[in-house]
Amino acid sequence: MDKITLTATLSFGLEAVVKRELQALGFSDLRVSDGKVELDATPEDIPTLNLWLRSADRVLLKMGEFGAKDFDTLFEQTYALPWEEWIPEDGVFTVTGSSVKSQLESVRTCQSIVKKAVVERLSEEYDTTWFEETGAEYPIKVSVRNDVATLTLDTSGTGLNRRGYRKQAGRAAIKETLAAALVQLSFWNNGRLLIDPMCGSGTILIEAAMIGRNIAPGLKRSFASEDWAGIPSTAWEQARKHARSCIKSDVEMQLFGYDLDEEMLFASKSNAKAAGVKKDIRFEQKDVRDLWIDQEHGIVISNFPYGVRMGNFQELNQLYISFNKIFKKKNGWSVYVLTADKKFPDYFKRARPNKTRKLFNGAIEVAYYQYFGKKP
Ligand SMILES: C[S@@+](CC[C@H](N)C(=O)[O-])C[C@H]1O[C@@H](n2cnc3c(N)ncnc32)[C@H](O)[C@@H]1O
């Protein structure tokens, strides 16, 4: 059981970011495809990936993959997998699933067939028909895509976006994993000024501060696989200890967050405090129309309000016009805007975007418009 295959699942468009994160953690031979990065690993790597990946959704342990066009094949092939290597007699296991462009269309039937096959396999292995289900949780996922079934165990449990610091989210808060990706896709580094003029609950700035301080994003939460017998418990302890030792305490950052809404600022401050980065970010109530920039160089990363989720279109146009006025002559500023509104580039007249990246904020398709500023 020493060599295993792990899959970091992610939101479409973030493949390159997660690949870079894995490389920075020392992993190579990474297989990238739509929505995931697969790698060879050992059980001891499970804590590291869960604690450190900033932009991935989950870390899955691959149990097997096979072609399945009918339910008999799904049952037989699932039954043939060595589930007992991971799931003990008292293990609790639920099955969730998905099906895309496949003959096995009914997700519910796929789930119940997989559950039946695993129960049958474990019944024979443990010579029992009664499972107490009092032990650790082993969430099984069956995903069928183009008639190929992939069976995995979810080592993360709740999604990796749930860092544990965001007790209060704004109406249109972005996922922490996406916010971390926006920062990593920008030119920002510790030494540079960064503002989010419509910061909402502060997610982008909090993620930047955590990157700047090298705080592992998963350090304050727990994971489904923490009690798995297949991962030495010392591996979790060691990975947490190492992560704590990596935190940089002597870093000075220039991070500023503004928002019109007082309640949002209250939320940002309490979230930043919970994340351990309160003193790194200055939050202030301000209308973006009153923003005054006197520095020559800096970086703006912001997730604009947009019609699909909030705001009305006239107000938005006014907002774009003000934003354009502030930054159109600030050529030393790199401007990064995430929005679902495809008209945004028509209003921001400084230049055409240097790069536009298609991303997803939950189920909503958005674009990340990137305007590069002149180097300091
Ligand atoms: C999409 S939300 C930002 C969400 C944020 N990224 C988060 O994760 O919570 C947009 C924010 O813009 C703020 N906003 C709208 N109009 C504004 C204005 N004129 N000046 C400043 N903030 C504004 C809203 O209060 C809202 O919090």
Report the amino acid identity of residue 205.
L
* pLDDT for 10: 98
CA of 259 to the centre of ligand 1 (A): 6
Is the CB of 219 inside a 6 Å radius of any atom of ligand 1?
no
Domains 4-154 and 176-216+223-371 belong to one CATH topology = no
- CA–CA dist 47, 9 (Å, integer): 16
- 308 has a pLDDT exceeding 60: no
Is the CB of 272 inside a 6 Å radius of any atom of ligand 1?
no
- pLDDT (mean) for 125-136: 91
Is the CB of 257 inside a 6 Å radius of any atom of ligand 1?
no
For residue 306, name the pLDDT band (cuts at 50, 70, 90): confident
For residue 256, name the pLDDT band (cuts at 50, 70, 90): very high
* pLDDT for 149: 98
Which of 259, 286, 315, 368 maximizes ligand 1 atoms within 8 Å of its Cβ, making it the mutation to test the pocket?
259
Closest atom of ligand 1 to 196 CA is 6
73-90 tens-digit pLDDT: 999 999 999 999 999 999
Is the CB of 275 inside a 6 Å radius of any atom of ligand 1?
no
Which residues are CB-contacts of 235 (< 8 A; sequence separation ≥ 6)?
A: 43, 44, 46, 47
Closest atom of ligand 1 to 309 CA is 1
Give the residue from 18, 61, 5, 12 showing the smallest Cα distance to 35.
Answer: 12
* pLDDT for 1: 53
Which numeric CATH code is attached to 176-216+223-371? 3.40.50.150
90-108 tens-digit pLDDT: 999 999 999 999 999 999 9
**More confident of the two residues 171 and 140:** 140
For residue 205, name the pLDDT band (cuts at 50, 70, 90): very high
* pLDDT for 362: 86
Q: List the domain boundaries for the chain.
A: 4-154, 176-216+223-371
Is the CB of 261 inside a 6 Å radius of any atom of ligand 1?
yes
- pLDDT (mean) for 237-241: 97
- CA–CA dist 216, 200 (Å, integer): 23
**More confident of the two residues 315 and 186:** 186
CA of 310 to the centre of ligand 1 (A): 9
Closest atom of ligand 1 to 322 CA is 19
330-367 tens-digit pLDDT: 999 999 999 999 999 999 988 999 999 999 998 889 99
- pLDDT (mean) for 121-145: 94
Is the CB of 161 inside a 6 Å radius of any atom of ligand 1?
no
- CA–CA dist 81, 75 (Å, integer): 10
23-62 tens-digit pLDDT: 999 999 999 999 999 999 999 999 999 999 999 999 999 9
275-301 tens-digit pLDDT: 999 999 999 999 999 999 999 999 999
Which of 166, 264, 317 maximizes ligand 1 atoms within 8 Å of its Cβ, making it the mutation to test the pocket?
264
CA of 200 to the centre of ligand 1 (A): 5
Q: In CATH, which of 3.30.2130.30, 3.30.420.40, 3.40.470.10, 3.40.50.11030 is domain 4-154? A: 3.30.2130.30
Across all residues in the chain, what is the average pLDDT?
94
Closest atom of ligand 1 to 289 CA is 19
Which of helix, strand or coil describes residue 215? coil
Is the CB of 61 inside a 6 Å radius of any atom of ligand 1?
no
DSSP string, 262-316: HHHHHHHHHHHHHHT-GGGEEEEE--GGG-----SSEEEEEE---TTTSS-HHHH
Is the CB of 203 inside a 6 Å radius of any atom of ligand 1?
yes
Question: pTM of the prediction?
Answer: 0.95
Is the CB of 322 inside a 6 Å radius of any atom of ligand 1?
no
For residue 170, name the pLDDT band (cuts at 50, 70, 90): low
